[in-house]
Structure formats: structure tokens, C-alpha cells
């Protein structure tokens, strides 16, 4: 092995689908031209893997390569919409627990956008493996589908920590958590409260909170006020596409999926099937992802060199067709223009960058065992075409002799029995709340007995035990419930 090869950092490269290979090839050429010392290991995922019958879209060799190199440069992968295989992207993020998705949106010189001149330079840190993206879905009835929104204390803490650590690595001064804690008090509420705990470890950084809808509004009204925004998976998915739009569009939005062990760098955009194969894709987002990769492996000089050459190219008005129309360059000519500017500086300085330090949270930080835990009842979800009055009468007859009383019935979260005077439309999916009269008499068998009795007359789908943890209800009330 030559001395220079010995210094090279092994990198797994997944060219991806659609325009993936075009933008990945462009980026690898430039990483090299800028002095990046990388040793590529090319593997596949996505379409090719699905075609080969690999249901996850990620072959074993790809997993082995990532486990070895720990650093991935990845093009976009196609995912069928609505039906078919699961997303290979989501598989990769989950498999390697890359729990924080870092998505910078910085105004780039010479790139037109409705917000040009405002000095936007913000980062969305999106939780990457939990929330609705856990993909746990069930048809509750033939007419009602359910997706579980799972949020863990660990997930909230580590993505919050990643947001503050990233802010610190770039000398940024504020981190805002954006949640919907006013409506989803337990899931989004946990995100808010865990964020606040982590914030106390970073006294030099200002921590704030915004409701996600207000955050979206503020991002359009005054985007330059933001530094780092941290949020749950679904919120972050939507918000970060919005922030890409603020600085010129998807063609300019890079990202990093970061975990304690593995980091994966990819553009925010997808496979762009409408332009794939024509050699016109804008490689900027992929190149900027490559710049993030170089900084991750502490090759700061090469990163800055490539970033400056890209900035200068854009600053001189050299663009691809997505923003310059027919006058724009194809991918290859655009890459040549950047390569010709390697070693030159643009008028846009590089940000401050230091190593991103992430250390696993100690178990004690994420364990919140309650002192007391009292069972107070059960919510049974069942299918019925009946109206609430008929349903309540039948259920009350069915549970005579059990320790439970029927407290309330709701339909898609709104109380429909006892009547509150509201007249919501009812679908065939009810939640029936049974409360145990004397919690000291609760036994697991009592729940099984309850389900057995209900099961004689109705199809029930699932049951949720109702618990009071340290004197606080571990469940929410229905809309209208007292």
C-alpha cells in the first residue's frame, strides 16, 4: 500500500437510483479533486436490490460494508408510493440507528430564491428513526386505518443532544425545539420536556420552543431568525423540505444521518425520475453532502476547498438547468466548472466547523421508572356499525359482574357517549373506556374476562391498559371528556 493510500478513509458509496449515480459520480470526482483522501467501496441498495428479490432493499454486502467503514456517501433510492416494498432509505437509517438527520439550509451565493439576500443559514435536525416512521400500521376495521406514533425518552434526548452538539460544533448560538405538544401532550410533549432537560447541559446555547405550525409560519415570515431547529421525524421531514425551498430548492439541500456509530451523507432530494438519464441533474446537494462527509472525517481543508470552489461557481452565475433553464449547464459541464475553480476562494466565507462530539447517553439518564403505577381501567377499541347509545347499552349489559364500569365512548377521539351535545359523524371504530371501581382489585385476568365478554358481541381490535404513574394519568382524555 502506498503512503497516501494508507491515509485514505474508507467510505461506503451507494450510487442509488434515478439521478443518483449521476450526482454521486460527480461528487466523487470533486472530492478527489479537492484533496479528499477517501477509499471508496461501491455497493448497492434500492431498486437493484428489490429486483434481486431482497425485500429490505439493502443487501448483506452493503450492510457489511457500512459496518466496516462507518461512513456512507449515498445517492437517493426509489421507494414505491402507497404499496409494495418498504423504503430502503428508512431501512438503512433504522438499521444503523442514525437517529439524527441534520439538514442545513444556507443561502448560497448567486442562487435565486424568493428569500435571497436575507442571509438564511439554519439547520433542521430531524429525529430519524421513531415517530410515525416506525411504520407500525394496522387496518382497525375495513374502513379505519391506524399508524402508531411512538416516541421514546431516549429518542428525544439523543436527537436533542445531537442538535446542541451540532450547534456547538459550528459555533451557533440557539436551538429551538418545534413540537405539537399542545395537542399531542404525551408524544410531542415528551419531546419538549426532554429537550428542555438536555438544554441545561448547554448553558452557552439559547434554547427555545415553538409550536410546529408557528415555526412553519415564522420560517416563511422571518427565516433569518433561526439557527438550529430540532423536531420529531414527521415534522422534520416536512419542515426541512420547506427550508430547502427557502434557499433555492431540493437541488441545493444536503443532509447527514448521524448516529453514535455510523454517519450517512445524502441529498434531501429523491431520484428525480423525470430527469434521470439526461445528464442535467443539479449535483449541488450531493456535493454539499460530500462536504459534510469530509468534515465528519475531519478532512476540514479538503471540505473548505471544495465548498469554496462550488460557492465561487454559483457566485459567477454558473448554474444547472433546474434554475437556469435551457441556458444552464449539464451535470458534467457544471462539475468541470467547479473543478476548474478548486483552490480559489469565493466571497462567501466558510462557517466555523469543529468536530461533532456525540457520546451515548448513560442509561440512567433515560430511565424514568415511576414510584407508583396503578391500573385504573382499560380502553377497548372495537368495530361497530351501531350508534353510541345502542353500543353503550349493550356493553353495559355485557360487563355486569366485572369490576369495570363503562365511563365513556369516543369515535376518532371525540366523546360520543355520554352525549356532550356535539353531533360528530361516527365511523365503525369506537374506543370504549372502562374504569375499574376499586383499583386495588385489578388483575390481568379481569382484563381478559372483559375482552372475552365484549368479544362475544363485537370484533375488538386492541386494548390499552389505563395506568396512573406517580399519581398522573398515563393516558389522555377524549375531546369533551371530563
**Where on the chain is the footprint of ligand NAI (CB under 6 A)?**
19, 23, 76-79, 89, 250-251, 266, 269-275, 281-282, 285, 322
Query: Active-site residue 241, yes or no?
Result: yes
Q: Would you say 42 or 390 has its CB closer to ligand NAI?
A: 42
What minimum distance in Å lies between the beta carbon of 154 and ligand NAI? 24
How far apart are the C-alpha atoms of 276 and 47, rounded to whole Å?
14
CA atoms within 13 Å, Cβ hemisphere of 316: 14
Q: Which three cell numbers stand for residue 247?
A: 434557499
What minimum distance in Å lies between the beta carbon of 281 and ligand NAI? 4
Cβ distance 71 to 131 under 8 Å?
Answer: no
What minimum distance in Å lies between the beta carbon of 439 and ligand NAI? 48
How far apart are the C-alpha atoms of 388 and 395, rounded to whole Å?
10
Helix, strand counts (H, E) of the chain = 16, 18
Q: Would you say 212 or 272 has its CB closer to ligand NAI?
A: 272
Q: Which three cell numbers stand for residue 2?
A: 502506498
Determine if residue 256 is left, alpha or beta; phi over 0 gives left, psi from -120 to 50 gives alpha, anything else beta: beta
How far apart are the C-alpha atoms of 61 and 21, rounded to whole Å?
19
Catalytic residue among 70, 94, 180, 375: 180
Nearest 10 degrees: CA dihedral of 219, 222, 223, 224?
Answer: -160
Catalytic residue among 86, 121, 202, 241: 241
Q: Would you say 19 or 463 has its CB closer to ligand NAI?
A: 19
Q: Would you say 241 or 428 has its CB closer to ligand NAI?
A: 241
Q: Would you say 36 or 248 has its CB closer to ligand NAI?
A: 248
**H runs (alpha helix) in 116-186:** 153-169
What minimum distance in Å lies between the beta carbon of 78 and ligand NAI? 4
Query: Active-site residue 133, yes or no?
Result: yes
Q: Would you say 18 or 388 has its CB closer to ligand NAI?
A: 18
Distance of CA 302 to the CA centre of its chain: 29
Query: Active-site residue 430, yes or no?
Result: no
Considering Cα of 62, then 66, then 68, then 72, what sign does the dihedral take? positive
What minimum distance in Å lies between the beta carbon of 25 and ligand NAI? 13
Element at 233 (helix H, strand E): helix 233-246
DSSP state at residue 304: H
Q: Which three cell numbers stand for residue 283?
A: 449535483
Query: Active-site residue 333, yes or no?
Result: no
Give the residue closest to ligand NAI by C-beta.
270
The secondary structure of 308-325 as a DSSP string is: HHHHHHHHTT--BHHHHG
What minimum distance in Å lies between the beta carbon of 461 and ligand NAI? 30
Of 217, 181, 215, the C-alpha closest to 196 is 181
How far apart are the C-alpha atoms of 105 and 64, rounded to whole Å?
32
Q: Would you say 45 or 151 has its CB closer to ligand NAI?
A: 45
Q: Which three cell numbers stand for residue 418?
A: 355520554
How far apart are the C-alpha atoms of 239 and 216, rounded to whole Å?
7
Catalytic residue among 25, 74, 94, 133: 133
What minimum distance in Å lies between the beta carbon of 248 and ligand NAI? 11
What minimum distance in Å lies between the beta carbon of 271 and ligand NAI? 4
Catalytic residue among 213, 333, 470, 473: 213
Q: Would you say 120 or 250 has its CB closer to ligand NAI?
A: 250
In this structure, the strands spanning 228-231 and 429-436 are: unpaired
Catalytic residue among 17, 237, 322, 379: 237
Query: Active-site residue 260, yes or no?
Result: no
CA angle 217–222–226, rounded 5-degree value: 95
Looking at the annotation, which residues are catalytic?
133, 180, 213, 237, 241
Amino acid at each position: 500500500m502506498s503512503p497516501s493510500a494508507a491515509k485514505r478513509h474508507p467510505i461506503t458509496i451507494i450510487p442509488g437510483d434515478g439521478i443518483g449515480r449521476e450526482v454521486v459520480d460527480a461528487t466523487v470526482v470533486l472530492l478527489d479533486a479537492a484533496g479528499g483522501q477517501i477509499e471508496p467501496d461501491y455497493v448497492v441498495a434500492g431498486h437493484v436490490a428489490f429486483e434481486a428479490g431482497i425485500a429490505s432493499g439493502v443487501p448483506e454486502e452493503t450492510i457489511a460494508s457500512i459496518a466496516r467503514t462507518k461512513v456512507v456517501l449515498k445517492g437517493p433510492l426509489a421507494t414505491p408510493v402507497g404499496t409494495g416494498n418498504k423504503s430502503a432509505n428508512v431501512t438503512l437509517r433504522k438499521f444503523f440507528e442514525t437517529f439524527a438527520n441534520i439538514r442545513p439550509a444556507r443561502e448560497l451565493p448567486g442562487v435565486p430564491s424568493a428569500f435571497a439576500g436575507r442571509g438564511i443559514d439554519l439547520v433542521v435536525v430531524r429525529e430519524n428513526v421513531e415517530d410515525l416512521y416506525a411504520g407500525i400500521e394496522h387496518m382497525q376495521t375495513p374502513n379505519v386505518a391506524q399508524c402508531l406514533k411512538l416516541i421514546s425518552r431516549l429518542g428525544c434526548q439523543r436527537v436533542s443532544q445531537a442538535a446542541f452538539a451540532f450547534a456547538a460544533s459550528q459555533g451557533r448560538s440557539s436551538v429551538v425545539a418545534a413540537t405539537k405538544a399542545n395537542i399531542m401532550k404525551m408524544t410531542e410533549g415528551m419531546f419538549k420536556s426532554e429537550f428542555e432537560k438536555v438544554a441545561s447541559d448547554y448553558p452557552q446555547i439559547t434554547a427555545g420552543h415553538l409550536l410546529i405550525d408557528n415555526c412553519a409560519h415564522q420560517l416563511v415570515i422571518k427565516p433569518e431568525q433561526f439557527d438550529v431547529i430540532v423536531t420529531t421525524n414527521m415534522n422534520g421531514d416536512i419542515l426541512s423540505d420547506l427550508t430547502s425551498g427557502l434557499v433555492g430548492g431540493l437541488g441545493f439541500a444536503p443532509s447527514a444521518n448521524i448516529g453514535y456509530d455510523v454517519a450517512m451523507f445524502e441529498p434531501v432530494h429523491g431520484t428525480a425520475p423525470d430527469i434521470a438519464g439526461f445528464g442535467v441533474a443539479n449535483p449541488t446537494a450531493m456535493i454539499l453532502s460530500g462536504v459534510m462527509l469530509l468534515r465528519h472525517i475531519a478532512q476540514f481543508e479538503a471540505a473548505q476547498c471544495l465548498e469554496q470552489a462550488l460557492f465561487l461557481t454559483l457566485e459567477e452565475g454558473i448554474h444547472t438547468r433546474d434554475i437556469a433553464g435551457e441556458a444552464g449547464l449539464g451535470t458534467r459541464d457544471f462539475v468541470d466548472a467547479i473543478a476548474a475553480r478548486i483552490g480559489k476562494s469565493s466571497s462567501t466565507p466558510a462557517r466555523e466547523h469543529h468536530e461533532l462530539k456525540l457520546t451515548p447517553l448513560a442509561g440512567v439518564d433515560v430511565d424514568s421508572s415511576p414510584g407508583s403505577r396503578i391500573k385504573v381501567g382499560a380502553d377497548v377499541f372495537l368495530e361497530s356499525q351501531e350508534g353510541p347509545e345502542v353500543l353503550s347499552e349493550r356493553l353495559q349489559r355485557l360487563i355486569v359482574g366485572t369490576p369495570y364500569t363503562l365511563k365513556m365512548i369516543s369515535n376518532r377521539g371525540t366523546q360520543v357517549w355520554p352525549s356532550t351535545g356535539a353531533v360528530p359523524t361516527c365511523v365503525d371504530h369506537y374506543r370504549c373506556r372502562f374504569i375499574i371501581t376499586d383499583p386495588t382489585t385489578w388483575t390481568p385476568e379481569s382484563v381478559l374476562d372483559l375482552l372475552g365478554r365484549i368479544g362475544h358481541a363485537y370484533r375488538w381490535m386492541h386494548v390499552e391498559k389505563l395506568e396512573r404513574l406517580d399519581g398522573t394519568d398515563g393516558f389522555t382524555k377524549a375531546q369533551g371528556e371530563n
